[in-house]
Amino acid sequence: MNNETKIKALMLQIDSGQMESDAARVLDFIIKEKFSSMPIICDALDMPEKTVSARISGLLDIGIIEIVESDDDAKYHIYRHQANAMGQVKNAYNRKKAKFEQWKKRGLQEFGEFLHSEQLELGL
């Protein structure tokens, strides 16, 4: 299922008022509140932090929510809904790119001895 289909399914649940998934409940809360953080979502929806964290991660992956820029000292991220389809595509792309960069860095640190110099020059 692609991101657009996932977003449509979530919005259909929200619009119908029949939120069967935790992801739809979390997204609905963020949409209604405009801005929210993990502890507030956990308290308001009476969900464990691990559940909310996983649902937020999935929503970030498909681009329908985004992290609000804040100072580096903030204890928690603030999330907001991204209603614009192009914004969602951009968010999903940037999230996937950041995950790839983390994966690549971890791979180079842990398995660098298995890579040939040509691969290292290419950044692989």
Q: What does the pLDDT look like over 96-120, one tens digit per residue? A: 999 999 888 887 777 767 666 555 5
Please tell me the pTM assigned to this model: 0.83
Question: By the 8 A CB rule, do 45 and 59 touch?
Answer: no
Strand partners for 81: 65
| Digit-coded pLDDT (tens) for 61-73 | 999 999 998 777 7
- Domain holding 111, by residue range, is 3-122
Q: Which pLDDT score, from 0 to 100, does residue 119 have?
A: 56
For the chain, give the percent of residues with pLDDT over 90.
Answer: 71
| Number of separate domains in the chain | 1
Domain CATH code at residue 23: 1.10.10.10
Which stretches within the chain are classed as H helix?
3-16, 22-33, 38-45, 49-62, 85-111, 117-122
